A and B are shown apart, each in its own frame.
Chain A
Amino acid sequence: MSVWELVVLAWQGIVANRMRSSLTVLGIVIGIAAVIALLAIGYGAKLESERQIQALGLNLIFIRPGAQSAGHVSMGMGSSVGLTMSDVEAIREVCPAVAEVAPGYDSTQQVQFAGQNTSTNISGTVPEYTTIRNFHPESGRFITQQDMDHSTRVCVLGQTVVDNLFAPGENPVGKKVLIRGEFFDIVGVMERKGVTAFRDMDDQIFVPLSTAYNRIFGFNSVKGKTVQYILVQAKSEEETLPAQFQITNLLRLRHHIHSPNPDDFYLRTQKDLLQTSEAMSSVFTLLLGSTAGISLLVGGIGIMNIMLVSVTERTREIGIRKAVGASHRDILMQFVVEATVLSLTGGIVGILLGIGSSYAINYFTSWKTEVTPLSVIMSFTVSILVGLFFGIYPARQASKLDPIVALRAE
């Protein structure tokens, strides 16, 4: 009997026992659907975070004060000087691989407009910020060098702040908000950026760093103005490593750190973030893989169970087939193919269900999903393998039956 004839035969058997077949493959259906949908979510998230990281450019370097410990947690903030404005100037002047430098200082403050109150992040920054973060005003303008030089009381609002303080359709540019008891002119509104991997980019107000020192944060160190972080853009992606090297050397010299003492600051590049995000998504994939493995194991055992029942129920049929000349192999194949068709049917239904749910997730939630062809091909293959693997034992039981014994069965 050819495999195709066996497939047709198996399909007839499955259709004849529709209810039982559906219940049998339910485990496989759910397992495969879950794998497809979860992998689609995982892959979508990975693409999205990569897109965000790459949108910033791989030549971006973050510098923060504090010794770098294993968990990227800054240590010894109190004892170290931190990063100062003079460090910023030095980096700008000394390091040849560096294109732009933007120091920053953030603080959460209460903000008011016409009786509306909100608490948001006040980000003291410099004009270079827009280039480095690739984050631009949608209307009005950003902070300029004149604002810096004259410490003017101007600010640029993020979209979330606009949503919180202003009525829909109202144009904030030209109005004034109250920050820490002082009125600031709103000169621009940033474009909507959304939530990046780390924070809501839209929930902040930008002010000139110089103004921030004078009016909001105050001078905060005997050694001059400290900054919370420095954003550095290397001249190109290839210049990122030299820039890191140059900055590290410079800062160690300036902070009088001698070998073997560790840095009192740490650098992180977008490449590091990309690697972290990739490592995270591979852990995610691994977890999914094990979940999938377990659900398919359960599904496979379900199939094996029902195939064993089926062999017992159809003992007489097996006897009849053997009596008219079916060989050991004919019977073996019949049941293996039946288990495989059953499992593959479950697999295909699961694949369709999985694709359907990832579209639904895409449509109804904010998660971006992306079904990978590989997950579909793998699910297809795995459901065939599950059928083969769990079908072989019941099929062997069937093929070993003695024709006379089998014919006598009721």
Chain B
Amino acid sequence: MIELKEVSRVYDLDATPVHALRGIDLKVMSGEYIAIMGTSGSGKSTLMHILGCLDRPSSGKYSLNGEQVQNYSQDELAAIRNKTIGFVFQQFNLLPRMTALDNVMLPLIYARGSVRASKEEQLPRAQNALRLVGLGDRMNHRPNQLSGGQQQRVSIARALVNNPKILLADEPTGALDSQTSKEIMTLLEELFTQGITVILVTHDNDIASYARRVVRLKDGVIISDSLNNR
């Protein structure tokens, strides 16, 4: 489903280029649950951005569902972000002026072509997504009227509303306390059991223990890739 080959990412700020990723090879099968770990600055977020088609590799190949996406245009990548991959950020990244429901509607509004839900379908789908994450009673609240955990649920609902097969989460519990983190992890576990491929980044071993496979990064290189024995 996902296959990275020799992927590297170089940020060339100033005179000294930063090699955030160096020759990453990674294969992810459909229905996997992967945790990516590593020290700060090891390249986890960079890797997630490339996986999530928010960024493109400087070199190497990225095959997603058989498509070579490394050379896709910005708009083609936008379409993938919209329908194929859901992305959850550490900082939630909700639009502050909009209600939870409107935030969840966004991917529906930007959907194109055959995946676009009709007008009448959009609202119930967004409502369903919010119910799925347990926020059926908070639909018309704005982000600043919601707790951190609830905001992260909204952002998960938004990631799921177009029924993607892959959910990427960059430190989804990084801004949450341990109790709330647990609830979010339970939700992700549930999604995983429904067949969604989940890849998350974490610093926390407890969080990583939810995953079935753990990939460790150091200085932009994969140093270990092992199955969790739970």
> A interface vs B, CB < 8 Å?
1, 5, 12, 16, 316-317, 319-330, 403-404, 407
Pick the contact of A324: B75, B81, B97 (CB < 8 A): B81
CB <8 Å contact, A325 and B74 = no
Given the interface pairs A323-B93, A325-B83, A327-B78, the reply to whether A403 lies near B54 with Cβ below 8 Å is: yes
Q: Which residues of A contact B111 (CB under 8 A)?
A: 325
B161 to chain A, nearest CB (A): 9
CB <8 Å contact, B54 and A330 = no
Which of the candidate stretches B102-110, B171-179, B195-203 sits at the interface with the other chain? B102-110
Q: Which residues of B contact A321 (CB under 8 A)?
A: 95, 106, 110
B185 to chain A, nearest CB (A): 23
CB <8 Å contact, A330 and B110 = yes
CB <8 Å contact, B109 and A1 = yes
Q: Within residues 56 to 87 of chain B, which ones have a CB less than 8 A from any CB in chain A?
A: 74-75, 78-79, 81-83, 87
B158 within 8 A of A: yes
A16 and B74 alpha carbons, distance in the complex (Å):
31
Given the interface pairs A16-B97, A403-B54, A407-B93, the reply to whether A324 lies near B49 with Cβ below 8 Å is: no
Q: Which residue of B lies closest to A326 (CB)?
A: B110
B32 within 8 A of A: no
CB <8 Å contact, B81 and A325 = yes
B55 within 8 A of A: yes
CB <8 Å contact, B95 and A320 = yes
Q: Which residues of A contact B106 (CB under 8 A)?
A: 320-321, 324
Q: Which residue of A lies closest to B83 (CB)?
A: A325
Pick the contact of A325: B55, B93, B94, B110 (CB < 8 A): B110
Q: Which residue of A lies closest to B79 (CB)?
A: A325
CB <8 Å contact, A323 and B109 = no
A45 and B109 alpha carbons, distance in the complex (Å):
53
A329 and B95 alpha carbons, distance in the complex (Å):
20
Give 14 A-B contacts (CB < 8 Å), ordered by A residue. Answer: A1-B109, A12-B97, A317-B95, A320-B94, A321-B95, A321-B110, A322-B81, A323-B87, A323-B93, A325-B82, A325-B162, A328-B78, A330-B110, A404-B55
Q: Which residue of A lies closest to B96 (CB)?
A: A317
A389 to chain B, nearest CB (A): 25
Q: Which residue of A lies closest to B81 (CB)?
A: A325
Given the interface pairs A5-B109, A330-B110, A404-B54, the reply to whether A325 lies near B78 with Cβ below 8 Å is: yes
Q: Which residues of B contact A12 (CB under 8 A)?
A: 97
Total residues of chain B contacting the partner, CB 8 A: 24
A373 to chain B, nearest CB (A): 36
A328 and B75 alpha carbons, distance in the complex (Å):
6
CB-based A-B contact count at 8 angstroms = 58
B117 to chain A, nearest CB (A): 13
B65 to chain A, nearest CB (A): 17
CB <8 Å contact, A326 and B95 = no
A5 and B108 alpha carbons, distance in the complex (Å):
13
User: B107-132: contact bitstring with A at CB < 8 Å (1 yes, 0 no)?
Assistant: 10111100000000000000000000
Q: Which residue of B lies closest to A6 (CB)?
A: B109
A324 and B154 alpha carbons, distance in the complex (Å):
13
Pick the contact of A326: B78, B87, B158 (CB < 8 A): B78
A328 and B79 alpha carbons, distance in the complex (Å):
11
A322 and B54 alpha carbons, distance in the complex (Å):
9
Closest CB pairs A-B (n = 9): A325-B82, A325-B110, A324-B107, A327-B75, A326-B110, A327-B78, A324-B106, A320-B93, A325-B81
CB <8 Å contact, B54 and A323 = yes
Q: Which residues of B contact A328 (CB under 8 A)?
A: 74-75, 78
Q: Which residues of A contact B82 (CB under 8 A)?
A: 324-325
A322 and B106 alpha carbons, distance in the complex (Å):
10
* Given pairs A327-B75, A327-B79, A404-B54, 15 additional interface contacts (CB within 8 A): A16-B97, A317-B95, A320-B94, A321-B95, A321-B110, A322-B81, A324-B87, A324-B158, A325-B110, A328-B75, A329-B75, A330-B110, A403-B55, A404-B55, A407-B93
A12 and B112 alpha carbons, distance in the complex (Å):
24
Q: Which residues of B contact A319 (CB under 8 A)?
A: 93
Q: Which residue of A lies closest to B49 (CB)?
A: A404
A330 and B74 alpha carbons, distance in the complex (Å):
12
Q: Within residues 12 to 46 of chain B, which ones have a CB less than 8 A from any CB in chain A?
A: none
Question: Which of the listed residues B74, B93, B106, B109 has the most CB atoms from chain A within 10 Å of its own CB?
Answer: B109
